[in-house]
Amino acid sequence: MGRIGRTIAEAGGLSDPFALFKAWFADAQSESEPHAMALATEHEGQPSVRMTLLRSFDERGFVFYTNYQSRKGSELAMNPRAAILFYWHPLHRQVRIEGRVERTTPEESDAYFAGRERAKQLSAWASDQSQEIESRVALIERLQKVEKEFEGRHVPRPPHWGGYRLIPDAFEFWQGYPDRLHDRTLFVLQDGEWRTSVLMP
């Protein structure tokens, strides 16, 4: 069976993982959800994973926003190590990124929250994410209460809501091929430099 496109090495992607991610992310913009990523966290040996959205990235890391009191927020408070995974199926590409997670600055979180739709701002106040509630009706009632409280007013960012930045120390880029001899390239940060290795599929 034939190959699909160039290998990572042939594409010149063996020096800078951020540049390679940027190029692949640009290629994925034709996908319906290019920003979708799986976020894996862990506490006391019990992993958990959920889908979330990448909001921005640069050489400082990969940013997402959530409720600090959610399960992922609670687990990150206890163990700041996490992993994210992007999978762009039609491109036969996957990127796995591991690293340390820290909160974004309050100013960054404020700026992002201010740009959200008002309905989403109100939902951030109404929902104590991951906490139990007696019914969806009760959740709607909480939202209605919040809507009344902020009627005609600016909606500030809740203190329990904000951003996180995953600061990578490892990337793995995977390019799939029909013959199953997939292309895997691993970048690991060592002493401030990215060490590159090719992995067998």
Catalytic positions are 180
Spatial contact of 194 and 172, defined as CB atoms under 8 Å apart: no
Q: Which residues contact 193 (CB under 8 A, 6 or more apart)?
A: none
Residue written as token pair 């020096």: 15
Counting Cβ atoms within 10 Å, is residue 26 exposed (0-12), middle (13-18) or buried (19+)? exposed
Tell me the C-alpha distance between 175 and 130, whole Å: 35
Cα 176 to the chain's mean position, in Å? 22
Question: Contact, 88 vs 61, CB < 8 A?
Answer: no
Question: Which helix (H) or strand (E) is 77 found in, with range?
Answer: helix 71-78
CA distance 80 to 74: 10
CA angle 9, 14, 19 (to 5 degrees): 115
Please, which residues bridge with residue 66 across strands? Answer: 162
